[in-house]
Structure 1
Amino acid sequence: MGAFLSLVIRCWRVDHPPERPKSAEAIRIGILGTGWIPVRSLITPAKSHAEVIVAAVASRDKTRAEAYARRFNIPIAYGSYQDMLDDPAIDAIYNPLPNSEHFEWSIRALKAGKHVLLEKPSVSNAIEAEYLFNYHSSLPSPRPVLLEAFHNRFHPAWHTFLSFISPPDVVNVESNFNVPSGFFSEDNCRWKFELSGGSLMDIGSYLVLNLRDVFKAEPVEVVQASARPSGYGDVDAGFKAQFKFPNGGVGSIDADMGKNSLWGVPWVTFPKIVVQQREIEVKSASAEGIHTKKRTIIFWGWPGPMYYHRIQVVDEYILRRGIHGEILRTWTEKKTQKAYVWTGRGEQEGKEGEPYWSTYRHMLEQFVNRVKGRDGSGVWFEGQDSIHQMKAIDAAFKKADMPIRPTSTIKIGANSVNT
């Protein structure tokens, strides 16, 4: 009963965190656009952060911006994105616009000297990624902070999961994430090619990152890839792919933005990652023979571990008489792990957090640490990481005989930014 009550309280506090008084040195962040994502990814997490003020929202429609500002108690509403970038009182911007607009408005924000928290995927393709992140790295120091918002990487559960894995020994990984059909309306930007939509660009981008993190390497080949067309627009509603990695292991992804059951009704499966490692010899006190172990790690609930997750580690042991000899004994050892806070919380610098902190809240903590020049937890997503991420996505589109999302051509001031 106590465990269930703790679960309920934690889940409620994730979306209703305690509000902390704001510091005089708090970072003033402005939101580009009036979508629903910022509520979960910034507005709610910022409530418990003393060094973050959601100070402004901008829309091309001033009336819409004002309505959004009133609803979420945001002090300033702008009738254009550029007006917010031109305001010296805004320190940073959060860019959750449609994917096709990530490149332009992140470039503009950096040129205006603003720190940028950039919703994933960072841009529309690898060409844009190389331009954006190389441009950022070319800025004189101290340059604004630029972070692609892969929030699940910042939660302690993700690093607990990775701690059980030996990347060179991984032979197979399966990662899935889907939402039921009808979850995204027909006019949602995710269904539009010109807005760089599609399942691989959206929830599939998490799955690609999962593989890269598990193998701690970049894929060398897309073995196979296939897309299920959308009934709404000219993009993929579902996408499956297999990537080969340098150690010979293979990772598979299954992303679906319109999941149906066999009977055609909306359906959803619990997201999980399954990692299988090769059989390896292990040290043993026994003198009977050769002692080997084969490990499987399963991470249930990886996208939202703050609500609930479970990490299962299954070790299968074999004792043989010689390398290929008679099997003398087999046995299995299992353990389950959860991590709602960092190990060493309160003792190690940068390992702050509470059980109700969401993945977004942990990410916001590290974003602020970078802006303030603090080391933090050490968890980050570097620009080269973002470039490699888009290269893997582009390669999957090519393998599936699908067009890579369109490249932007923009002009900023007197300078042409033509990728």
Structure 2
Amino acid sequence: MGAFLSLLVRCWTVDHPPEPPKSREAIKIGILGTGWIASRALITPAKSHPDVIIAAVASRDKTRAEAYARKFNVPIAYGSYQHMLDDPAIDAIYNPLPNSEHYEWSLRALKAGKHVLLEKPSVSNTLEAESLFAYHSSLPTPRPVLLEAIHPRFHPAWSEFLSLISSPHVEKVDVKFNAPSGFFAKGDIRWRFDLAGGAMMDIGSYTVSCLRDVFGAEPVRVESAVARAAKWGDVEEGLKAGFRFPNGGVGFIDADINKTSVWGLPGVSIPRVVVQQREMKVEVEGAPEGEIQTRKRTVTIWGFPGAMYHHSIGVVDVNVRKRASDGQVLKRWTEKETKKAYVWNGRGTESGKEGEPYWSTYRYMLEQFINRIKGRDGSGVWVDGEYSIHQMKAIDAAYVKAGVAIRPTSSFKI
């Protein structure tokens, strides 16, 4: 009963966090656009951060911006994106615009000297990624902070999961992340090619990031890719692909933003990553002379995108003790363990390892964004420009293999 009550309290507090007083040096953030994601990804997490103030929202429609500002208690509403960028009181920008506008408005924000928290995927394709991050790198130091918001990577659960894996020994990885049919309405921006929509450009980007993190390397090629055309719109609603990595291992992704089940009902599944490692020799203290021990490990994380609500990390080790001389199996046994990590192991003792059980993946990410702006120690988790460029390369490669057009390149020039 205690564990269940703890679960309920944590889930409630994720969306209703405490609101400490704001510091005098708080970073003032403006939101580009009035999309629903900003409330979950920034407005709610910012409530518990004393160094963050949501200061403004901008829309091309002033009336819409004003309505949004009233709904979320945002002080200033702009009827122009550029007007907000021109405001010297705004320190940073959150860019959750349609993917097709990430490139232009992130460049404009950087040029205006604003820090940028940029929704994933960073841009529409590799060319844009290389251009955006090259421009960022060319700025004089101290340059504005630019971060692609791949939020699950920032939660302690993901770091705990990766700590249980030996990347060189990974043999196979399966990543599944599906959204049930009907979750994204027919008129949603995700169904439009001209806005750089599609399954791979949405939750598919998380699946690609998962593979790259687990292998600790970039894929050398895409071995298979099959896209399923959307029932409406001109993009794919699902894509499955297999990537080969430098160690010979293979990673499979299943990304779907319109998943159905039997009789066409919405398909519901828990996002998961399953990692299978090759058999590897392990050192055992006090092992008998002439014997060796090996281990074949499988590690699974359930619920990684929403780890703050509930997640589970399962470890299954198949152990074998053998005679070294001829490989004769002397003993075989299986060990199982379940882990969770809602806060950092070093919380309270290590700088940069701040956190609370109710902190969402977005709140942990916001912490590191502000740490970087203020030059403070962080948790060690970050998404740099090189990571974001390789992310788009992998997405584009999957599209090419599937015979699907890469999303269009912006004509904007800085």
Do the aligned partners of 2:290 and 2:325 also contact (CA within 8 Å) in 1?
Answer: no
Contact map agreement 1:156 1:342 (CA 8 A) in 2 = yes
Return 5+ residue gaps in structure 1 as ranges: 411-415
Percent of aligned pairs sharing the same letter: 70
Residue deviations 1:203-234 (CA, integer Å, cap 9, x gap): 00000000000000000000000001101111
| 1:405 pairs with one of 404, 407, 410 | 407
Summarize deviations over 1:66-97 as a string: whole Å, max 9, x none.
00000000000000101100111111000000
Q: How does 1:34-45 map to 2 (within 5 A)?
A: 34-45=34-45
Partner of 1:197: 197
Aligned amino acid, residue 26 of structure 1: A
- Over 3 Å counting, the alpha-carbon distance change for 1:263 and 1:322 in structure 2 is farther
Residue identity opposite 2:399 in structure 1 = F
- Equivalent-residue separation in structure 2 for 1:332 and 1:288 (angstroms): 22
Q: Which residue of 2 aligns with 1:236?
A: 236
* 2:353 counterpart letter in structure 1: K
Inter-partner Cα distance in structure 2 for 1:78 and 1:401:
41
Deviation digits for residues 146-184 of structure 1 (CA, Å, limit 9, x no counterpart): 000001111111000000000000000000100110110
Mapped contact 1:290–1:323 kept (Cα < 8 A): no
- 1:219 alignment partner in structure 2: 219
| Separation in 2, partners of 1:172, 1:263 | 32
For residues 207 and 324 of structure 1, what CA distance do their matches in structure 2 show?
Answer: 42
Q: Distance in 2 between matches of 1:372 and 1:76?
A: 24
CA distance in structure 1 between the partners assigned to 2:227 and 2:305 by the alignment: 22
The equivalent residue for 1:2 is: 2
Residues 271-311 of structure 1: CA deviation (Å, up to 9, x unaligned): 11000000012223134633211000000111111000010
In structure 2, the residue corresponding to 1:335 is in which secondary structure?
A: strand
Q: Are positions 1:92 and 2:92 aligned together?
A: yes
Q: What residue is the counterpart of 1:69 in the other structure?
A: 69
**SS of structure 1 residue aligned to 2:213:** helix
Q: Secondary structure at the match of 2:305?
A: coil
Aligned equivalent of 1:337:
339
Does the aligned pair in 2 maintain the 1:22–1:50 contact within 8 Å? Answer: yes
Residues 175 and 253, structure 2, Cα contact 8 Å, conserved in 1: yes
Of 373-382 and 151-160, more deviation after overlay is shown by 373-382
What's 2:357 paired with? 355
Q: Select the residue among 387, 390, 393 that pairs with 1:391.
A: 393
TM-score with structure 1 length normalisation? 0.97
Secondary structure, aligned partner of 1:117: strand
Give the match's secondary structure for 1:296.
Answer: strand
Q: CA deviation at 1:268?
A: 1.3
Aligned Cα root-mean-square deviation (Å): 1.0
* 1:176 partner letter: K
In the alignment, does 2:338 pair up with 1:374? no
| Structure 2: distance between partners of 1:369 and 1:71 | 29
Measure, in 1, the Cα distance between the counterparts of 2:145 and 2:292.
52
Give the aligned partner of residue 317 of structure 2. Answer: 315
Please report how far the alpha carbon of residue 362 of structure 1 lies from its aligned counterpart in structure 2 after TM superposition. 0.5
Query: For residue 345 of structure 2, what is the amino acid of its counterpart?
Result: T
Given the superposition, is the C-alpha separation of residues 324 and 205 from structure 1 closer, same or farther in structure 2, using an over 3 Å criterion? farther
Kept in 2, the 8 Å contact 1:272–1:301? The answer is: yes
Secondary structure, counterpart of 2:243 in structure 1: strand
CA distance in 2, matches of 1:71, 1:283: 59
Alignment match, 1:413: none
Q: How does 1:269-280 map to 2 (within 5 A)?
A: 269-280=269-280
- Measured in 2, the distance between the counterparts of 1:283 and 1:381 equals 34
Distance 1:39 1:15 in 2: 10
The amino acid of 1:12's aligned partner reads W
Q: C-alpha distance in 2, partners of 1:121/1:35?
A: 16
CA–CA distance in 1 between the matches of 2:219 and 2:256? 22
Q: When the two structures are superposed, what TM-score results if normalisation uses the length of structure 2? A: 0.98
Q: Which runs of 5+ in 2 are unaligned?
A: none
Residue 305 of structure 2 corresponds to residue 306 of structure 1: no
